[in-house]
C-alpha cells in the first residue's frame, strides 16, 4: 500500500481552520497565527518519510502517524495551535491511509500535552497508544460519521477545503 503523506499546504489549512474557526473563542483574539518556522514544519512533515540506503526507517502507518504527531508538536512550527494542528493532521493522515482513530477527546488531548512536555513520550509508546485506539478500515469506505463528536466539525471543514482544492486542480 502506497502511503499518502500530508503536504505543507494541507497542514497550513488544518492550522488555520483549527486556530481561526474552531478554537478562537478559547484564545485571545490577538493570538498570533501562522508559521513561525517554515523549516520546522517541513522537517516535521518529512520525519515520517525518512529512509536510509533506500530502506524506510519508519516501518508502518501507525509509527509514521506517531512520528508525525510528535514532530509537529515538538518542532513547534506555528506561533500557536501546534498541539491542536498536530492532532487533526494525525487523524487525517491515519484516515488517508486506511485507519480510523476512535478515542475520547480527553485522552487525545492528554496525549498531545504529554508529547509537548520536556520528558516527552517516546515514539514507540505513541504508536502503541495509537494502535490501542485505531482500527483498520477499507480505504474509500463511507466515513460520514465524525471521528469524535468534539473534533468532527473541524475534520469535515478541512476535508471540504481539501476537496475544493483538488477540484480546482483537476
pLDDT per residue over 72-90, tens digit each?
A: 999 999 998 999 999 999 9
Q: Is 5's pLDDT higher than 90? A: yes
CB atoms within 10 A of CB 160: 11
CATH of domain 8-169: 1.20.120.1870
pLDDT per residue over 88-145, tens digit each?
A: 999 999 999 999 999 988 899 999 999 999 888 999 999 999 999 999 997 554 444 4
One DSSP character per residue, 115-126 reads HHSTTPPPHHHH
One DSSP character per residue, 121-160 reads PPHHHHHHHHHHHEEE--TT----S-SSTTTHHHHHHHHH
pLDDT per residue over 20-65, tens digit each?
A: 775 555 556 666 788 999 999 999 999 999 999 989 999 899 999 9
Residue boundaries of the structural domains of the chain:
8-169
Amino acid at each position: 500500500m502506497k502511503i499518502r503523506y500530508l503536504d505543507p499546504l494541507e497542514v497550513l489549512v488544518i492550522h488555520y481552520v483549527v486556530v481561526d474557526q474552531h478554537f478562537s473563542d478559547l484564545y485571545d483574539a490577538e493570538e498570533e497565527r501562522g508559521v513561525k518556522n517554515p523549516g520546522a514544519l517541513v522537517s516535521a512533515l518529512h520525519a515520517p518519510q525518512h529512509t536510509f540506503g533506500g530502506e524506510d526507517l519508519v516501518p508502518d502507518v501507525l509509527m509514521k502517524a506517531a512520528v508525525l504527531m510528535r514532530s509537529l508538536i515538538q518542532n513547534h512550527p506555528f506561533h500557536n495551535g501546534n498541539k491542536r494542528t498536530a492532532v487533526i493532521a494525525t487523524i487525517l493522515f491515519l484516515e488517508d491511509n486506511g485507519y480510523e482513530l476512535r478515542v475520547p477527546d480527553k485522552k487525545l488531548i492528554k496525549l498531545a500535552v504529554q508529547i509537548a512536555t520536556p520528558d516527552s513520550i517516546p515514539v514507540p509508546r505513541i504508536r502503541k497508544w495509537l494502535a490501542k485506539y485505531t482500527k483498520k478500515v477499507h480505504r474509500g469506505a463511507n466515513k460520514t460519521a465524525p471521528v469524535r463528536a468534539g473534533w468532527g466539525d473541524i475534520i469535515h471543514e478541512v476535508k471540504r477545503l481539501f476537496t475544493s482544492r483538488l477540484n480546482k486542480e483537476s
